Amino acid sequence: MKILITTPNLNITGGVSNYYNIIKKYFTLDIEYFNVGSDLKKENIFLLLKNRFSDYIIFNKKLKSGIFNLVVINPSLDIKSIIRDGLFAFISRKRKISFIVFFRGWDLEYEKIMRKTTLKFIRFTFFKARAIIVLAKDFENTFRNWGYKNNIYKETTVVDDEMLININEKTIEKKYNASDDQFVVLFISRIIKEKGIFELAKAFQILYGKSKKIRLIIAGDGKDKKTLDYFIKTNNISNVILVGNLKGSDKEKLFCESKLYVLPSYTEGMPNSLLEALAFGLPAVTTDVGGIKDIFVDKKMGLILKDIKPETIAEKILELADNMGNLKTIAINNYRFAKKNIVASKVTKRLETIYSENII
């Protein structure tokens, strides 16, 4: 059994490329990746069309070889991806090779304004799949409402097992038993307003007057980073620190030094940063959007925000920070949940089961 998986360029940072880079070493089946697109972050329209056309020719030749039993396609629900990846689905169908569609991103605003012609195209291409994989129950419900009849599987993003080599229940207990002068709250994600980052910064403006020991570290990059930096400086929010985009050991160290993770997003698929935080034993304060509501248990894993007003965020952070005993219990529970459900070795096994069940 040989499986072909379409992926973006694995050398460019992104959710899907990171996902497949991580799980690659855990596959036991015969897997080949097919990189879609060029190595360039920016390209003119003629080069884009040339590269896309080349992708389809090479993809068709690979399927024509007859060595593949299954194709896995990884689109998002946005117009560019639907057209690009829909053609991979069409080619797979014409070559009479079973394929699975794993919807990675989901643009809720685009879903609201999507034309009927686009839905017809989705039904003509992606609905011919043996199965669909999604990151949230809400997305599964949408496909059912659109008329998809075959199997739909709900999956998660992943945390690399190797990130947790030095993490265990004893190290977590030690952290929450320590009496530190500082209580570090962590935000790691893209710095865009849709992540609720400005509301979070305003919450710390409120918290500064209530507790001098609580501080926020913001790690990441994004189109609103400069605006956020200006906002923090002009409002003199001294308990908030921006550290930029961190990777590897620097990122792991930050998780280890933090005691609470906050992600007040407007909308999400399945945020990888939240799963990483849970795996490092961090309680979380977050919203119940997208796939978060499918895995996150209020009060057992942290606290769910019913709204993202700065006052509400500040209140929830204080509620957890003032009860270290409860924090420790939540932290150990989150670590156990992650080890059982979302580390890459476990997710890869589930994926291989899905693949095996859907090969004719």
Q: Pull the structure tokens for residue 172.
A: 């977590």
User: 97 with 124, same domain?
Assistant: yes
Is the same domain home to 224 and 353?
no
Rounded distance between C-alpha atoms, residue 234 and residue 156, angstroms? 39
The reply to whether 140 and 216 lie within a common domain is no
**How confident is the model over 233-253, as a mean pLDDT?**
92
- pLDDT of 44 reads 63
Q: Mention every residue, 6+ apart, whose C-beta is less than 8 A from residue 259.
A: 175, 176, 183, 184, 185, 282, 283, 321, 327
pLDDT band at 360 (very low <50, low <70, confident <90, very high): confident
pLDDT of residue 221: 92
Domain enclosing residue 122, as ranges? 2-158+344-357
pLDDT of residue 269: 85
For position 42, what pLDDT does the model report? 53
Residues 143 and 244 in one domain: no
Q: Based on the domain organization, do 198 and 96 belong to the same domain?
A: no
Residues 337 and 353 in one domain: no
Pure H helices in the chain: 15-23, 45-64, 79-94, 108-113, 116-125, 137-146, 169-177, 197-207, 225-234, 248-257, 272-279, 292-295, 310-321, 324-341, 344-357
The pLDDT, as a whole number, for residue 158 is: 95
> Based on the domain organization, do 335 and 349 belong to the same domain?
no
Question: Do 292 and 270 meet the contact criterion of CB atoms below 8 Å apart?
Answer: yes
What SS3 class is residue 227? helix
Average pLDDT of span 79-99: 96
CA 338 to chain centre: 14
Return the CATH number at 337.
3.40.50.2000
Query: Do 125 and 191 belong together in one domain?
Result: no
Strands 183-188 and 302-305: unpaired
Domain of 110: which CATH number?
Answer: 3.40.50.11930
Per-residue pLDDT tens digits for 4-52:
999 998 887 778 889 999 999 999 999 999 999 755 555 566 666 777 8
* pLDDT at res. 357: 95
Q: Tally Cβ neighbours within 10 Å of residue 104.
A: 21
* Rounded distance between C-alpha atoms, residue 108 and residue 331, angstroms: 32
For the chain, the residue count is 360
Six-digit token string for 89: 């689905």
114 pLDDT above the threshold of 90: no
CB 88 within 8 A of CB 71: yes
Q: Is the pLDDT of residue 314 over 70?
A: yes
Residue with tokens 């014409």: 94
| Whole-number pLDDT of residue 109 | 83
Query: How does residue 70 score in pLDDT terms, banded at 50, 70 and 90?
Result: very high
Whether residue 235 has pLDDT greater than 60: yes
| Res 102 pLDDT > 90 | yes
Write out the E strands in 220-294. 240-244, 260-263, 284-287
Least confident of 99-108, 175-184, 236-245, 281-290: 175-184
The pLDDT assigned to 47 comes to 65
Range of 46-55, 106-115, 163-172 with top mean pLDDT: 163-172
If asked whether residues 328 and 349 sit together in one domain, one would say no
Positive/negative CA dihedral, 234, 240, 242, 245: negative
pLDDT score, position 39: 52
Task: Clarify whether residues 177 and 87 are in a common domain.
Answer: no
pLDDT averaged over every residue in the chain: 93
- Same-domain check for residues 68 and 109: yes
Per-residue model confidence as pLDDT tens digits over 341-350: 999 999 999 9
**Count of structural domains, the chain:** 2
Q: State the DSSP code for 297.
A: P
Q: What is the CA radius of gyration of the chain?
A: 22
Residue ranges with strand state E in 189-234: 214-219
E strands, the chain, where? 2-7, 30-35, 70-73, 98-102, 131-134, 151-154, 183-188, 214-219, 240-244, 260-263, 284-287, 302-305
Please tell me whether residues 73 and 172 are part of one structural domain.
no
| pLDDT for residue 178 | 84
The pTM of this model reads 0.89
